[in-house]
Amino acid sequence: MKKIIKNGTVVTAEDIYRADILIENGKIKTIGNELNENNAEIINAKGCYVFPGGIDPHTHLDMPFAGTFTKDDFETGTIAAAYGGTTTIIDFCITEKGKSLNSAIQEWHRKADEKAVIDFGFHLMIGEVNDDVLKELPTVINEEGISSFKIFMAYKNTLQADDETLFRTLVEARKHGALVMVHAENGDVIDYLVNEAIKEGRTDPIYHALTRPPEVEGEATGRAAKLTAIANSQLYVVHVTCKEAVEEIAKARNGGFRVWGETCPQYLVLDESYLEKPDFEGAKYVWSPPLRKKHHQESLWNALKNGQLQTIGSDHAPFDFKGQKDRGIGDFTKIPNGGPSIEDRFSVLFSEGVKKGRITLNEFVSLVSTNAAKLFGMFPNKGTIAPGSDADIVIFDPNSERIISASTHHMNVDYNSLEGMKLVGEPISVLSRGEYVIRDKQFVGKPGNGRYIKRSRFQV
């Protein structure tokens, strides 16, 4: 089945131009003026931008966390992503100590393969590095197509890796062609501050933020960047929240080192004061790293604008307020960390970024799609509109207005952390490999239609 998108304005990371797009067999076949083809379905994109599908490089669907699971599975989560203009996600596959990496990967396929409505890849979390794990890495990269590994510098006594583990992973990643991702916070210092707070009866949600100050993120980011330089390797810092971390990334990049950074919508539009909401509502805004004081938002926008940060991930990890977040009443350490944002990532960046004059249209496409495709081994199949690329396309009305609300969102969670926020710009139709997933704002896709993406080895 052929389709021609007509009358739209095509926007890529490089260009903005009026043209028609012919889609055939799931791929973009031709881009040109006045295209005609027998039997092709015509899609009228008049008044709309035609963007490459969004790529969300940071999701946690159906993820176990402290005896519970994130509320969205691969079906509800990818449907919500598609409504929001995202056509590819990379989800974090969690490994367990003492079990093979392969068994963790198979477990993630069981969660995803029959459910996803858009294409997906996996990152692998590395809990420990031992000889068995090292032996498996080349297979994971070359056979499974997983070319990025995540290390935690926080969560002492559970997920936290020591510097040796991080360093060895960096060395192996360089050897085999993978990108190391870090959660950069100093877990030892946080553990001390948290214990002091609990001992002294400071148990409300706001103390989650106050026991993880921006300096512990800056310190860990700088340390990871320096270890990367020593290993002559490559590093991607997930969910950067603050000036201190941005400065460390900028310093490393200016020194010529291969360090990249991601931030998330919540850090661009919400701040620490939300954790002080009454009636325990502050728990809805518990992420790690935490929301920061408002002035950090300007550092993040500047970093997106000047290229010191390259991607926007949602870090989607939704937990219901009732029944999950409320486990932390009287003890903020028991509040599940994370929030819902897979659906609004794309539109928030457009509305707050492009519409408010902070970034250009081309920068928007780079941040929301192209840069992630390049860093994570999917370009040019994903992340752009070009002949031969997958026809993952968002037809986006830049003037449509809507108000974010849990009563209308498609995520399987009982609140929205951006409740009441007014957005300008909205996806109208979304194609995944040439097939409608969203048509005129209605879901028309099918669970299982999303394909697993074997990603290439790291190369930039």
Least distance in Å: CB of 241 to Zn ion? Answer: 12
Nearer to Zn ion, 291 or 361 (CB): 291
Least distance in Å: CB of 387 to Zn ion? Answer: 35
Query: How long a stretch of residues is the chain?
Result: 460
CA distance 218 to 129: 25
Nearer to Zn ion, 248 or 315 (CB): 315
The residue whose Cβ lies closest to Zn ion is 315
Helices of type H across 232-370: 243-254, 265-269, 295-306, 345-348, 361-365
Nearer to Zn ion, 185 or 315 (CB): 315
Q: How far is CA 166 from CA 52, 163, 315, 406, in A?
A: 34, 5, 21, 39
Least distance in Å: CB of 448 to Zn ion? Answer: 25
Determine the angle formed by the axes of helices 131-142 and 101-112, rounding to 10 degrees: 40
Least distance in Å: CB of 58 to Zn ion? Answer: 6
Least distance in Å: CB of 315 to Zn ion? Answer: 4
Nearer to Zn ion, 56 or 315 (CB): 315
The binding site for Zn ion (CB under 5 A) comprises: 315
Least distance in Å: CB of 291 to Zn ion? Answer: 15
- Quick one: tokens of 460? 């930039």
Nearer to Zn ion, 271 or 315 (CB): 315
Give backbone dihedrals phi and psi of 165, rounded to 5 degrees, phi first.
Answer: -60, -45
Nearer to Zn ion, 204 or 315 (CB): 315
Residue from 285, 394, 284 nearest 350 by CA:
394
Least distance in Å: CB of 460 to Zn ion? Answer: 22
CA distance 263 to 373: 16
H/E segment holding residue 107:
helix 101-112
**The pairing of beta strand 442-443 with beta strand 435-439:** antiparallel
Asked if the bond preceding 380 is cis, omega within 30° of 0, the reply is: yes
Q: How far is CA 388 from CA 133, 274, 326, in A?
A: 37, 45, 49
Least distance in Å: CB of 287 to Zn ion? Answer: 9
Residue from 49, 48, 30 nearest 40 by CA:
30
Q: Report yes or no: 2 and 22 within 8 Å, Cβ to Cβ.
A: yes
Nearer to Zn ion, 134 or 269 (CB): 269
Nearer to Zn ion, 315 or 363 (CB): 315
Nearer to Zn ion, 155 or 321 (CB): 155
Least distance in Å: CB of 68 to Zn ion? Answer: 16
Residue from 435, 308, 351 nearest 53 by CA:
435
